Chain A
Amino acid sequence: MTLQHPISAAGAAPAAPVKAAEPGPLVRFGRYLRRHPSVAIGGGLLVLMALIGIFAPLLWTTDPTAISPARRTRVPSELYWFGTDMLGRDVYSRVIYGARVSLLVGFSVAILSSIAGLAIGLFAGFMRWADGIVMRIIDGWMSIPPILLAIALMALTRGSIGNVIVAITIAEIPRVARLVRGVVLSLREQPYVEAAVANGARAPRIIWRHILPNTFAPMSVQATYICASAMIVEAILSFIGAGVPPATPSWGNIMAEGRALWQVRPHIILFPAVFLSITVLAVNLLGDGLRDSLDPRIAKRL
């Protein structure tokens, strides 16, 4: 038991000879977290941020969009914890509500680009005739730097959270597709897949039973990195004025508004910057921890 590999301890427990000695799922989860502290720290911080976003109205916030010229550009005080911005809005309330936008964008982009990339990657990896064409398209797609692609797409539409999510998703899809295709190509050569083919299994069944389950480990790691990158890109888009509408309390927007005054009132930029950095750090730590715990070898493929 002591020499067991961490993966088997965390995932499906091996058949224990004595049934009663097998630890419950909670105990195993606890052990897994202790073996992979970065998953525990990253995941913990992320849950905390999500709770902050969900319970924003209960966290002593006021209306994050309420404008009040009488109390413009206040420094942090007992009344306005993070001060106020140029329009007199409470920065604390805006930062707390901003967690919603960042997390929504991060998770949505991670999920949507994973699904789209998975579909394209499976298609390219499995259909030999399509592989060449799809991969050339992906090469072209990837040669536009992602932030620039997102900026160009945002120039076509109005700023809204939905449009930001779609624009960043489109910019992130080719990376997932490439990863999935690589995994599929290597899996196709595996004896058990060849055995399934020899047994007359049809393509959908092979994909569903043999290929798909094996793409989840590398994809979940990739998805966390995409989530982190999407949150940064959202902040950049809002910061340069091509993101969510200016009134929406998003961390990028708060920083964009603080730009003109940053030399005299640095706190307007400081607070959203700290929250954004901690959240992205949490997601990255989670990703690194997942990568190390799922399979040390995929570290090189990413």
Chain B
Amino acid sequence: MLAFIVRRIVATIPVMALVALFVFSLLYIAPGDPAAIIAGDQASPADVERIRASLGLDRPYLVRFGEWSWRILQGDLGTSIFTNLPVTQLIAQRIEPTLSLMVLTLIFAVVIAVPMGVIAAWKAGTWVDKSAMAFAVLGFSVPVFVVGYLLAWIFALKLDWLPVQGYTPLSEGFWPWLRNLILPTVTLGLVYVALIARITRATMLEVLQQDYVRTANAKGVAQKDVLFLHSLKNAAVPIVTIIGIGIALLIGGAVVTESVFAIPGLGRLTVDAILRRDYPVIQGVVLLFSLVYVLVNLLIDLTYTLVDPRIRY
């Protein structure tokens, strides 16, 4: 078991190294010469060369990648070209809204999608199943910003139940914080609900055909216990796996959702950085999100033994 954990953690190192190499190359091949930008318009070619040498920009690609990685490992993501602030500081300022949105969406999606998939599988072929799966296809097809504007238009503009846009920090109270995040959470969660519900249904359909389910039914175990205790436990591994893989969807969707609802999070930071071609910021955000994705999936791999005791390493 311990050997497996160590092996699995070691296996993520080359993955992250590849991501880092890609992210570094992004800045390396990005148009625009940083030395010329820092030197300014009046600088002579000799000045630019001197600045280039002092920044170490004249050294070979792999040497620079090594130095850059070393700085990253020490927590230095560089400096934003546009604001001149350290990228880590920019990220720290923007992380709370994004983290709030993603955690709420994760909870919302799992709470809705898993029972939906279980019931759809139980009632397979009936109108309950068909409408749940029709909803899932719709969830895949309607783009996240369309859902966002539609919900905002109905629940904020027409009914005036919830705020249209904006974000309130958690430090100003739980309810004001939650109120602002309800619409973004539902918006971002829809495609995730569709994904999880579909996998849950497919896995449960298989599990429900097993002999032990027939036995449980025959000996008179309550239907809800058969479904949620006996069967769901055995369907847990694929469901937990898709929740982890779906994080990628959530990250991409967060960028858009934050734009629609004017939430000052990492997604807004990314969009602003793109429009200003602020490469160090883009690098930092891509690196951070990829690290989150890899770590979440690492954690999920490690929890398989908890979810399913039959899995032993």
Contact = CB atoms under 8 A, between A and B. Distances in A.
Contacts of B16: 140, 143
Contacts, number: 132
A217 interface: no
Contacts of B111: none
A277 B248 CA distance: 21
A148 B289 contact: yes
B15 A152 contact: no
Interface in B261-313: 270-271, 273-275, 277, 279, 282, 285-286, 289-290, 293-294, 297
Given A148-B255, A239-B145, A277-B146, A143 B286 contact: no
B30 A273 contact: no
- Name the residue among A148, A269, A280 with the largest chain B CB count within 10 angstroms: A148
A202 interface: no
Interface stretch (B53-61, B133-141, B220-228): B133-141
- Name the residue among A147, A269, A273, A277 with the largest chain B CB count within 10 angstroms: A147
B141 A277 contact: yes
A228 B19 CA distance: 26
Contacts of A148: 251-252, 255, 270, 285-286, 289-290
A83 to B, nearest CB: 16
B15 A276 contact: no
A143 B294 contact: yes
A175 to B, nearest CB: 10
A228 to B, nearest CB: 7
B19 A240 contact: no
B289 A140 contact: no
B95 interface: no
A22 interface: no
Interface in A134-152: 136-137, 139-141, 143-149, 151-152
A186 to B, nearest CB: 18
B149 interface: yes
A136 B22 CA distance: 14
Given A145-B293, A281-B141, A139 B149 contact: no
Contacts of A139: 14-15, 18
B153 A266 contact: yes
Contacts of B30: 155-156
Contact of A144 (B19, B138, B153, B277): B19
Interface in B110-150: 137-138, 140-146, 149-150
A241 B207 CA distance: 46
B143 A280 contact: yes
Interface in A262-281: 262-263, 266, 269, 273, 276-277, 280-281
B29 A156 contact: yes
Contacts of A145: 247-249, 251-252, 289-290, 293
B39 interface: no
A146 B289 CA distance: 11
Contacts of A273: 143, 146, 149-150
Interface string A148-182: 11011011100000000000000000000000000
Contacts of A285: 137
A277 B22 contact: no
B85 interface: no
Nearest to B206: A300
Contacts of A240: 255-256, 259, 271, 274
Interface of A: 136-137, 139-141, 143-149, 151-152, 154-156, 228, 232, 235-236, 239-242, 255, 262-263, 266, 269, 273, 276-277, 280-281, 284-285, 288, 299-300
Given A155-B273, A280-B141, 10 more contacts: A139-B15, A141-B18, A143-B293, A145-B293, A148-B251, A148-B252, A148-B285, A155-B277, A241-B271, A280-B142
13 contacts: A144-B19, A144-B286, A145-B251, A145-B289, A148-B286, A236-B145, A240-B274, A242-B271, A255-B146, A263-B157, A263-B164, A266-B153, A273-B149
A-B pairs, 8 with minimum CB distance: A140-B18, A147-B252, A281-B141, A145-B248, A273-B146, A280-B141, A145-B251, A277-B142
